[in-house]
Chains A and B, each alone.
Chain A
Amino acid sequence: MLKVSHMDTFIGRKRIIKDVSFQVKPGAIVGLIGPNGAGKTTIMKTILGLTKFTGTVAVDDQPVTENNHAALSGVGALIEHPAIYPFLSGLENLKLYSRDSDDMDHVINLLQMQTYIDTKSKDYSLGMKQKLGIAIAFLNRPQLIILDEPMNGLDIEATISIRKIIKQYAAQGASFLISSHVLGELQKVMTKAILITEGKIIVDKPISEFNQLSHQQYKILTENMDQTTQIFKDNRIPIIKSDDYLLIKHDLLFQVQDLLYANHVRLLELSPRGMSFEQIIVGILEKQRRQQHEK
């Protein structure tokens, strides 16, 4: 569906996106995640042919260039802020982009916008504007939908509803590229995560692999936590400190037990501990920063 190969994006002479390559297959929901300024929006804009770039972007094997968007006819997008005209009502905004009135009605019903669709969009709340922006992206039955921070300003009901719609469209074969700061929410829908920092992809994995990672830590509680910390430090055992316990990786389990036994430290608790998706991502980013600092 979408194939990005060796994409370099420039702002002026500055290289913002560095040799980025990835694919979004039909029916896939790919999460583009990373810290602020990592380049997520720039990647999305580049896919939409809105910035100068080198490398290739292809949608259904048709190339996209900065000045040829023919391949984007089956693409819907919400980039940065909802693209709406305040002097038009929600319905008029949709009519401006719609090529099929039945499909437009379907999208309005799907997003439950019937009660305010005839109101001028300048009177909309942040959440209503966001929904309208998402509705524009879903118009004309797109095969690829690019959503930049789609959950911004949405209440819980709307968030759940959008999540369902995304899954429904994906089940029908549509592909998604979504960026979001609400990682927990993204984790619930995505099939693959691409982690990006400083314009480079550092992780591109199916979500199932992240889920495996989340069970790879053990919680340790001993009768002398200070001594335990010192033993681990002396033996170069990487740990994550919490208020009253320590976390270690599961592959170090036996080594840690042996060390504590050898040093006569009594274990009070040793139990597997799940890590949230957010903690995994933060951990990867911290590791990346450490490696760069060491270089």
Chain B
Amino acid sequence: MSFSLYQEFYKLSHKKIPWIMPLLLLVLMVFMGLVYPSQYGNLMVMTSYNTSDWILIILVITSSTLFSMEFQNNTILTLVYKAPNKLYVYLSKLIVMFAYNVILHVLSMIFTALLILTPINKPVSWMATYQYHQPLVVNMFATTGVDLITSLLIISLIFFMSCLINSNSLVITLNIAIIFMGSYASSDLLNNSSKLASLVKWNPLNMINLTTQYYSYAVTRGFTMLSNLQLLIGAAGYSLFFLVVGYLIFRKKRF
């Protein structure tokens, strides 16, 4: 397993995209800081300048590329036969993508700490009580932690789709559509099936709202119809489901 992990980290670190994306993330954070009115200073800190969606898009592009390049370059054959079994290949890619996800989130917090020192943000106090009766710094860490679960759900979806669909561009398009339109689609679904709402509210698209609901509970709770804990359990459960089904498809895939 360690050799498979070494191979995946080696490949990721030698690609340009993973290095460019954090810079793009910083640019987008600056942009968000400039666009949002100054009274949202605390919210900007709590959400690390609203990086959740941007990180998800970066993960979609990076993860699907990490998978599709193996098929495009015919390297999947060597990768699979040299690994003791297919699970090693699948797991090592998953672990590397999750580690990259963690790095992006840590970077977003570091960038936040730097950006609040600039004129982009009005001065905020890290220890001032903000949401959930907790200091702002705790809010930021908690939001990041919650967003790691949301992003794991998206990673699992990418892995599932990459094993199911051979077209990289289709996987990217579908996942970006899910990120931007998933919550609206889920909301429409819930509104149009009021009798089945108790069941429909558990649809996977609804779980994408986890991060948004965490930092904007009053607004989001109404249309997700689930508590934070329920969304958290749902997101973790669907992540596991998509990862397991994705692996089963990968295992049966003909190379």
Interface residue ranges, A against B (CB under 8 Å): 11, 45, 48-52, 67-70, 72-73, 75, 77, 79-88, 92, 95-97, 99, 136
Contacts and interface: CB of A to CB of B under 8 A. Distances in A.
Interface of B: 3, 7, 10-11, 14-16, 69, 73-75, 77-87, 251, 254-255
Contact of A84 (B75, B80, B85): B75
A68 B10 CA distance: 24
Given A67-B86, A68-B85, A83-B74, A50 B11 contact: no
Nearest to A80: B74
Contacts, number: 72
Nearest to B251: A67
A50 B74 contact: no
Nearest to A83: B78
Contacts of A80: 74, 77
Given A50-B255, A51-B255, A83-B73, A95 B10 contact: yes
Given A51-B254, A51-B255, A68 B78 contact: no
Nearest to A12: B254
Contact of A77 (B7, B15, B78, B87): B78
In the A-B complex, list the 3 residue pairs whose CB atoms are closest, starting with the nearest.
Answer: A83-B78, A48-B81, A83-B75
* Residue in A45, A84, A85 whose Cβ sees the most chain B Cβ within 10 Å: A85
A72 B82 contact: yes
Given A67-B86, A83-B73, A85-B73, A49 B14 contact: no
Nearest to B17: A87
Given A50-B80, A69-B83, A136-B78, A96 B11 contact: yes
A88 B14 contact: yes
A178 B16 CA distance: 37
A69 B11 contact: no
Nearest to B80: A50
Contacts of A99: 3
A85 B11 contact: yes
Given A72-B82, A96-B11, 13 more contacts: A48-B77, A50-B81, A51-B255, A77-B81, A80-B74, A83-B75, A85-B11, A85-B73, A85-B75, A86-B73, A87-B14, A88-B14, A136-B78
Contact of A70 (B11, B78, B84): B84
A83 B255 CA distance: 13
B73 A45 contact: no
A92 B13 CA distance: 12
Contacts of B87: 67
A243 B228 CA distance: 87
Contacts of B77: 45, 48, 50, 77, 79-80, 83
Nearest to A81: B74
Contact of A96 (B10, B15, B86): B10
A80 B78 CA distance: 11
Nearest to B6: A96
A218 B73 CA distance: 50
B15 A72 contact: no
Contact of B81 (A69, A82, A86, A95): A69
* Residue in B16, B77, B79, B255 whose Cβ sees the most chain A Cβ within 10 Å: B77
* Residue in A70, A92, A96 whose Cβ sees the most chain B Cβ within 10 Å: A96
Nearest to B75: A83
12 contacts: A45-B255, A50-B80, A50-B81, A51-B254, A67-B86, A67-B87, A68-B85, A70-B85, A72-B82, A77-B78, A77-B81, A83-B75
